[in-house]
Structure 1
Amino acid sequence: MPRLAALVPCLLLSLGLASLWTTRPAAAEINCADAGTTVELNFCADKDYQAADKALNAAYASALAYIRTRDMDEQSDKERLEKAMRNAQRAWVAYRDSDCKDLVALEWSGGTGATAAILGCMTGKTIQRTKELNERYSEH
């Protein structure tokens, strides 16, 4: 087993990946207001997306709670509305992922900015969907 551990740096070096192993900045060192390298840009884009996704999940949960407490004539109407919401959200996620992860990825042809572009697309669409859910399913 020690021989295998000794081979890892050699393997990384031969694959041209040694710089990724040794120069990757720690998350605490990255200033997203001044990100410049591809690694930093990708880290910051992912951080933005994670925050947007968290907000979307909260808005979605709030929308479902609103639907469950909505005054409707029949319980079956609430159940159908909740089911329709779940279906619409699944369809929206599929659309967002296809547009950003497939279409945007192909537009960038695997260039160094592809990851940040994909994450930027996903963040923008996620923020917009969060806004829609908050506007449609909140007490006015």
Structure 2
Amino acid sequence: MRAMAPALCLLLVIAAPAFAEGESDVDCANATAQRDLNACAYQEYEAADVELNAVYRQAVTAAGNIDKELDGADVGAGEALKKAQRAWIAYRDGQCELAGFQARGGQAEPMLVSGCLAALTQKRTAELKEFLETQGN
């Protein structure tokens, strides 16, 4: 058994990169295996997060522009945006953790959490886009 351990370790080292590459090659339109469904849900969340971050940066700029136009005590759009974003992140994380309890400890839990993260992130992005539209951006 001890003689097999180095060979088994070598096999795992060789297989690990192939496993990592395989997840990015998943055909999400036809995914049926739970591992693939989990990977696809996570990819959807990652894409939504990239878009959110881009839109959030635009919103920070717009909030900064609002503050530039205001005097003294009225300034605070930038801080209000940051406060709202921090609160939203806490809500999102808690809500999506709760969503995972539908399959707690099961193979589908990551898919449920990632799906929730994607959906809430897309909604937040829409809210920030609406804010930008009201600012003429």
TM-score, L = length of structure 2: 0.79
Q: Give yes or no for the alignment of 1:83 onto 2:84.
A: no
Alpha carbons of structure 1 residues 72 and 65: separation in structure 2 relative to 1, 3 Å: same
Q: Give yes or no for the alignment of 1:125 onto 2:126.
A: no
RMSD between aligned residues: 2.8
Structure 2 runs not aligned, ≥5 long? none
Deviation at 1:73, TM superposition (A): 2.8
Alpha carbons of structure 1 residues 72 and 28: separation in structure 2 relative to 1, 3 Å: closer
Q: Give yes or no for the alignment of 1:51 onto 2:47.
A: yes
Deviation at 1:76, TM superposition (A): 5.2
Structure 1 runs not aligned, ≥5 long? 13-19
Deviation at 1:109, TM superposition (A): 2.1
Deviation at 1:7, TM superposition (A): 5.2
TM-score, L = length of structure 1: 0.77
Could you report, residue by residue, the CA deviation over 1:12-67 in whole angstroms, capped at 9, with x for unpaired residues? 8xxxxxxx96x947135311100111111111111100000011111111111011
Could you report, residue by residue, the CA deviation over 1:110-133 in whole angstroms, capped at 9, with x for unpaired residues? 222111011000100000000001
Aligned residues: 128
- Take 1:106 and 1:9, find their aligned partners in 2: how far apart are those partners? 36
Q: Secondary structure at the match of 1:110?
A: coil
2:107 is matched with 112
Report runs of 4+ in structure 1 exceeding 6 Å deviation: none
Alpha carbons of structure 1 residues 75 and 113: separation in structure 2 relative to 1, 3 Å: same
- Take 1:134 and 1:7, find their aligned partners in 2: how far apart are those partners? 52
- Take 1:33 and 1:59, find their aligned partners in 2: how far apart are those partners? 27
2:88 is matched with 92
Selected match of 2:22 from 19, 26, 33: 26
Letter in 2 for 1:52: A
Q: Give yes or no for the alignment of 1:73 onto 2:74.
A: no
